């Protein structure tokens, strides 16, 4: 047999380690034959500090006005800067959130009433739960006055 062929089993590519450094590939038992493509340096694979992303949350208008006053007093350029200052100086270790016990309840409502509540919530730009709480509190106040 002049050109004896070796019996080669099909090789399985390990795509997870495809772009890993050679030392890491060897650690996992991969050889260069398992990674036929050259290692491509991707900028996204390097460790960089994540960019600041916007964080949106609701605040009462009087607190927003107070933030603006504090921003001016401290000579800061943005609301973000004053919030970062507040976070840096706040004692999170001793913070205890106000405790008010809540319980989720389930109620049956006719489809027409549910549709009405959904539309009203959308018009008023509040949650459906907020409308339900307002209705129950309004009933409690009305019954308390009688």
Tell me the CB-side half-sphere exposure of residue 45, using CA atoms within 13 A. Answer: 10
pLDDT of residue 18: 47
Residue 40 to residue 15: CA distance in whole angstroms: 13
pLDDT (tens digit, 0 to 9) for every residue of the chain, 146 residues total? 455 555 555 555 544 444 445 554 444 444 545 555 555 555 555 567 777 788 888 889 999 999 999 999 999 999 999 999 998 998 888 988 888 888 888 899 999 999 999 999 999 999 999 999 999 989 888 777 76
Q: What is the pLDDT of residue 42?
A: 53
- When computed from its CA atoms, the radius of gyration of the chain, rounded to whole angstroms, is 31
Domains of the chain, by residue range, sit at 15-44, 61-91, 111-145
Tell me the C-alpha distance between 19 and 11, whole Å.
17
């Amino acid at each position: 047999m002049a050109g004896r062929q070796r019996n080669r089993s099909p090789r399985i590519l390990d795509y997870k380690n495809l772009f890993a450094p050679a030392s890491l590939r060897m650690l996992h038992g991969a050889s260069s034959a398992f990674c036929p493509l050259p290692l491509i340096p991707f900028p996204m694979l390097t460790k960089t500090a994540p960019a600041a992303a916007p964080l949106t949350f609701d605040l009462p208008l009087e607190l927003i006005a107070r933030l603006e006053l504090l921003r001016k007093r401290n000579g800061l350029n943005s609301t973000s800067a004053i919030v970062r200052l507040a976070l840096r100086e706040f004692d999170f270790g001793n913070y205890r959130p106000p405790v008010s016990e809540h319980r989720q309840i389930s109620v049956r409502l006719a489809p027409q009433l549910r549709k009405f509540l959904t539309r009203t919530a959308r018009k008023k730009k509040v949650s459906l739960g907020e409308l339900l709480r307002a209705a129950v509190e309004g009933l409690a106040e009305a019954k308390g006055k009688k």
